[in-house]
Amino acid sequence: MATTESDLGGPTDLSEDEQRAVEAQLLRLADDELIQAERYTFWQVRAPTLESDLSISNNAQDELGHARLWYDAVQQLGYSEESLIYESDPSDFQHSTLVELPFAEGDWADAIVRAYLYDVAEDIRLSALEDSSYEIIRNRTSRIQGEEGYHLEHAESWLDRMALDEEASERVQAAIDELYPYALTLFEPVGDVEADIDRLGIRTMTLDEMRTEWETRVESFLTELGFDVPTDAAPATPAGRDNEHTDHWHDLHEQMTSSYRNLGRDEATLIMADDDE
C-alpha cells in the first residue's frame, strides 16, 4: 500500500470534513457514470449496425461497472444503493446535466459527440485522481483507466469518419454546438467543498485546471477535423453538480426506479461477488 504523509487512510479514518470532501468527489463520479451508461443503453438494439450496437453496449456496461465501483466506495461511508439511487430524490444526484439529456431517435452524432466530450473529461479526471490521497479512489481509478482509454478511441474514430461526410458533419457540428455548454458543467463545483478536495489531495488538479486542459484538447482535436468549437460558451444551466437538473432527469429517474417502486421493493438486488481491493 503506497501511503504518503497526507494519505487519508480508509473509510473509518476520515474526519468529518475529510469524509464530506471524499463523498463529494465520489458521488459525482458515481452519478456521472451511471447516467452516462443509462443514456448509452438507449442505443442497444437501436444502433446503426450490429457491430456499432455491440460497441456501444460495451461502453454502457463498462460505465455501469465503474458506477458500481464508485457507489460501492460511497457505501463504505455509510450509505446504501437503495438510499443513493432507488429511494433517493432526483435532486440528490450530482451528475453533470450533459449525461442526463435524452437522445433523439436516430441522432447517432449526439451519441458520439457526447461520448467524446465526456470521455476526454473522464480521461483528465482520472489522471487527477490516480494519485489521490484516498486509497480507495487511487486503486479504483487505476482499474478503470484502461477501459476509458478504449472509449476515447471509439469516439475519436467515429468522429474521424463522420468528418468526411457532409451530412454527418452537419449533424456533428449541431451536436457540438448543443452539447459543449453542457459538457462545461462537468467542471462546475458541487459547492464550497471543492477547496477541501484540492487541499486534502483527494484530487490533484483543480476544476479550473481540468477544464483548461479539456478545452485545449477538445478544441485542438475537433478543429483539426474541421469543426467549429464554441470556446466562448458559458456552462449550461442547470449544471447538475449543484443538484439542479433538467426535467429530462426527473423523467429518467422515474423510469429507472419504476420496477423497484411497482414491486414495492426495499432492497436493490446484489448478484455479483464482492470486489477485492
Partner 1 sequence: MNVDEVKARAGPREFSPKDDLPEEYRKAATRMLEFHANSEIMGAYLERPFIRKAPSIERKMAFSAKVQDEIGHGQMLYRAAESLGIKTRDEMLDDLANGDGKFLNCFHYPMESYVETPMIAFFVDGAAMRRQATLKKSSWEPYAHAMDKICFEEGMHVKHGESILRELMNGSQKEQRMTQEAFEEWWPRILQFFGPTDDQSTHHDFAAEVGLKTCTNDELRNAFLNTYIPKAKKYGLEMPDEPRIRDNGDGTYEVVEDDLDWDEFFTVSQNEYDGSIEQITGRRQAQEAVQWVRDMMDDQTTTNSGPQTQAAD
Residues found near partner 1 in the complex (CB under 8 A): 34, 38, 41, 44-54, 57-58, 60-61, 64-65, 67-68, 71, 81, 85-86, 105-106, 108, 157, 160-165, 167-168, 171, 255-260, 262-265, 268-272
For partner 1, the closer of residues 16 and 274 by Cβ is 274
* Least distance (Å) between residue 65 CB and partner 1: 7
Q: How far is the CB of 118 from partner 1 (least distance, A)?
A: 18
Residues in a beta bridge with 134: 9
Provide, rounded to whole angstroms, the least separation between the CB of residue 81 and partner 1: 7
Minimum CB–partner distance for residue 264 and partner 1 (Å): 6
Return the number of the residue (142 or 259) whose C-beta is nearest partner 1.
Answer: 259
Cβ closest to partner 1, residue 32 vs residue 213 = 32
CB of 205 to partner 1, least distance (A): 28
N- to C-terminal Cα separation, the chain: 11
Nearer to partner 1, 162 or 183 (CB): 162
Residue closer to partner 1 (CB basis): 69 or 197: 69
